[in-house]
Amino acid sequence: MDNLPLRLGLTMWSHNQWQQSFYGSGTKPAERLEKYAQVFHTVEGNTTFYATPTLNTVQNWKAATHDDFKFTFKLPKAITHEQMLRGCDEQLRDFMTIMEPLHERVGQWTIQLPAAFGPEHLDRLKKFCASFPPNFPLGVEVRHMAFFSKGEEERALNQWLLESGIDRIIMDSRPVFAAQPTTEAVIDAHQKKPRVPVHAIATAKHPMIRFIGHPDMDDNLHFFEPWLNKLPMWIEQGIQPYLMIHTPDNVLAPELAEKLYKQLQLKLSLPNLSVFPANDGNSQIQMF
């Protein structure tokens, strides 16, 4: 049974620069997901956005995790960005068939849409989402500015999401855009991350917040303050948020996630995170 008030995760589970700080020096690349899943409750499955894995890889991901861990896999960009959700029934069917071993461990199938996907395409999105089985949890991330206008176009999107039980993914990129573009990582983030308003609304039971952090760890505390009120309010309503933490290059993402989670613990009764495997000797501490 999933009794976590909130699920905390990162944008990835494998990062070469986490070897000493997070995994531990003896961890092999193939063991990273297992170590990651000992600490965090979920992960953004960016890898599927760029390429569909092999069935063997999917089975390995299942073997490396446990039943209380949840993936939030992005649908392939060939479907969402190149096809713009048109004429992709076969591609979607093939992708979901490959992912079948992990269906029970998916907290959300993420439909990340490009900025070109606007209100005129809403009916296409509705039709696409209707092709999923009713028990498949879906999240939609929009980037067209009309969906942030607080006008009729945004109301139509939000109303449909509410009626359909589909989560609207919330991008909070305020911290990274407050950083001066003086490093390669911040410059890259400014070029690639969407700069959209933060519309903190829950249209279903698992709103996902993508918090794109400032490179200065302490500066993030100011930007995170509104979430210290919003997240407890949602949890009180029986909603289980997914909180995904990024940094410009993600080198310090595990540390930032831990820092922000401790802030939430001052407001909420949340289980402690397990210590990072790198700091845990040879013991295996499980969260659940």
pLDDT tens for each residue of 35-48: 999 999 999 988 99
**Tokens matching residue 138:** 């879906």
Q: Could you tell me the domains of the chain?
A: 7-279 (3.20.20.410)
Q: Please give the pLDDT value at position 59.
A: 98
Per-residue pLDDT tens for 216-273? Answer: 889 999 999 999 999 999 999 999 999 999 998 999 999 999 999 999 999 999 999 9
Please tell me the predicted confidence (pLDDT) of residue 193: 83
The pLDDT assigned to 281 comes to: 61
Which sign does the torsion angle of CA 203, 237, 245, 100 carry?
negative
Mark the ranges of the chain whose per-residue pLDDT is less than 70: 1, 281-288
Phi, psi of 216 (to 5 degrees): -85, 115
